[in-house]
Structure 1
Amino acid sequence: MTAVIAVTDDIAACRALRRTVFIEEQGVSEADEIDNLDGQATHLLATVEGRPVGSARLLTYGSTGKIGRVCVLADQRGTGLGAALIRAAVEHFRTQPGITSVKLGAQTHALGFYERLGFTAQGPEYDDAGIPHRDMLLPL
């Protein structure tokens, strides 16, 4: 089975995935998960045989692209799908004029995952929705 990753307007599918992963699995409050940025973001949706299995949300702040809300369903973890989502997000930002770097807030347990994809941790650890994070940066 090969995953298909594409830009989507199906925000409901992305939110359903995020609800499963962040709210149900990780215990993030709905108030912390739901914000007003979905409408201005570009969303990537990963599907396997038409089934939504992962997503990421992309925002632009000046010359920086920000990857956020990256999630993969439990039965698809360890398949390379997460890395494929990040690579697709980075490639999306490479096509955007003026974007010189990509940033994300990584849960600290995932720092090594993002480092293998070329990101470098920046600044101190901080709490985001009760989960320790660090910012990570990838110059383009």
Structure 2
Amino acid sequence: MSAEISETQDIETCLMLRREVFIKEQGVSEADEIDDLDAEAVHLLARADGRPVGTARLLAEGETGKLGRVCVLAETRGTGLGAALVRAAVDHFRARPGITRVKLGAQVHALGFYERLGFEPYGPIYDDAGIDHRDMMLEL
């Protein structure tokens, strides 16, 4: 699948995708999914054939780039779109002076996906919004 991934100011479209994947599909509450960090984040939006199909949220905290809210619509999973979205996020952080690593909290079922992209798990498994997660790090 060929997709275009770019930074966007269209937070509403990103929220629509997150609602579809995290709230409707995975049962995360609206209160857990939507927070006040969206206003300060950089948002990536993936489009296939002009249609929004995936998003990711990027925040910087000191030397750490925080990658979160990564999602792609069910019909586009397995196409390489999610990996392209994560690579675009890593490239964004690599281009920012002072960022030396990228951190994320991965749903346990997705650990292998992120490991294939160079992330290493660390620390214990923990509950986030009713879903088991584990932190992962990529040194840049």
Q: TM-score, normalised by structure 1?
A: 0.99
Flag structure 1 segments of 5+ consecutive residues without an equivalent.
none
The alignment-based identity, stated in percent, is 73
Deviations 1:78-103 (A, max 9, x none): 00000000000000000000000000
Equivalent position SS for 2:136: strand
The separation in 1 between residues aligned to 2:44 and 2:108, in whole angstroms, is 23
Kindly tell me the number of residue pairs found equivalent between the two proteins: 140
Equivalent residue number for residue 139 of structure 1: 139
The separation in 2 between residues aligned to 1:122 and 1:80, in whole angstroms, is 25
Equivalent residue number for residue 122 of structure 1: 122
The separation in 1 between residues aligned to 2:21 and 2:90, in whole angstroms, is 22
1:51-130 to 2 correspondence within 5 Å?
Answer: 51-130=51-130
Q: 1:2: Cα distance to partner? A: 1.4
2:15 matches 1:9: no
Flag structure 2 segments of 5+ consecutive residues without an equivalent.
none
Runs of 4+ in 1 over 3 A off after TM superposition: none
